[in-house]
Amino acid sequence: MNTQSSRITITTILLLCLIPLVAAIAPRGLAFIAPITGLIAFMGYTLRDYKMPLPSRNSICALCTALALMSASVLWGHDADAITWKYPVKTAPLFLGIALLAGVIAHYRDEIAPRLCTALMSTCLIGAVLVTINLYGDSAIYRAIHPEDIYLKNLSHLNRSVVATVLLCALSLFMFTGQRAHGASNKAQRILAWAIGFALIPIIIKTDSQSAQLATVAGVLCAVIIPYSYNKFWLIPAATITALLLSAPFIAQHLFAYIASSVEGMAWLKDGYAAARMEIWDFVSRRALDRPWLGHGIEATRSIKDFDIAHVYHIENGVLHPHNFAIQTWIEFGLLGATLFSLILTLCLRGIWRGASINGRRAQFTLFAMTLIMAAISYGMWQGWWIGLLGFIFAGAQVFYPEMDARSDVIKSDKSSGSAASY
């Protein structure tokens, strides 16, 4: 590897390894670091090799579909003057940077993955230690960065850091198992893997983030019990997810009517505001079904001021987002959006099973399940830090695929003519 080659690879790895540290102490910064890294890496490798490491066509189509739906929904939005174009315009650069990062990692996985594995595991361990210090040390690091937050009632202000750290640690551990499966792991990586595993235990015990706890349990189960050698197994989660997404507004109403009162009496679920979430899902779902075909437009819940709220567990008069990606899809894009998102998720599952080894299937499906659980009970789809985090998880998961077909996915630049040809 020549000096120029080492320089761009090391720069890319160093930038990627900042992500766990940013996640631990300033998680909102995740909105910027992964997309910026993607742009820098794409330009660096393009200038070095005179070819553009583009992401797969399926990835490009999925991102373009999401952006097109976001933009089109402005036309039929609940309050177009308030919504304007700021959400699709704000989200487009994030999607672009993440897509470029995915393309770089996919095309240069043999060059990036071995070094990235050890480095990312190291910074994930440091990030986990920083989160633990915050959880058990009266938010010492958080208070130093946010001196204006004097009164902290609980540990919920650390939930973003916890969620991001759990997902990033899971990604780094799966990178290690991939290296080990190819006989490329070393003693340092094995020590780091054990250290990360033990570092996550006090985080999961202490955190107020029930989504992180549930996702961790689900991740362990997915890694252990799923028959990844069965080539058609992906059809089961695909059918289940599709059925749940398409019926989400109806399920949500039944949960509030018949389950909410019971979970309010369970301490662990009550602490996670489970009943309040069910009430939010209920009134947002009923409003979504007022315009079932196309929905109310992107970020509609921010502009709707007259929800029919029972105020049993949710005391406010509105909500910024429904804390559920399926319900948010329905309120914003209706059945059209739910159908398209079901198709995208199905294609993701199909790609996992068709494009990766057994170990790759295990890694990617476990990460897929963990992120889906968190998205189903916690964060809004268009939060920048959440898009940045999931984007890096998606891009990092490209190391589990074999080399991409250069004939279909790489555009090479002709140095002599300056033209670009697709091979």
Tokens (6 digits) for 195:
């250290």
- Across-strand partners of 410? 53
pTM, to two decimals: 0.91
Distance, CA of 351 to CA of 354 (rounded, Å) = 5
pLDDT of residue 85: 62
Burial class (CB in 10 A: 0-12, 13-18, 19+), 270: middle
Distance, CA of 154 to CA of 323 (rounded, Å) = 19
Name the nearest CA neighbour of 334 among 293, 282, 281: 293
Task: Give every CB contact of residue 141 below 8 A, 6+ residues apart in sequence.
Answer: 25, 130, 133, 134
The length of the chain, given as a count of residues: 423
- Across-strand partners of 420? 413
Return the domain boundaries, the chain: 3-209+381-422, 226-377
Conformational region of residue 383, where left means phi above 0, alpha means psi within -120 to 50, and beta covers everything else? beta
> What sign results for the dihedral spanned by CA atoms 63, 251, 361, 352?
negative
CA 392 to chain centroid: 7
pLDDT of residue 108: 93
pLDDT averages per 10-residue partition of the chain, 423 residues: 72 97 97 96 94 90 89 76 65 93 93 92 98 96 86 87 98 90 84 97 96 97 95 97 98 96 84 90 98 93 91 92 97 97 95 85 95 95 95 90 39 35 25
pLDDT of residue 422: 26
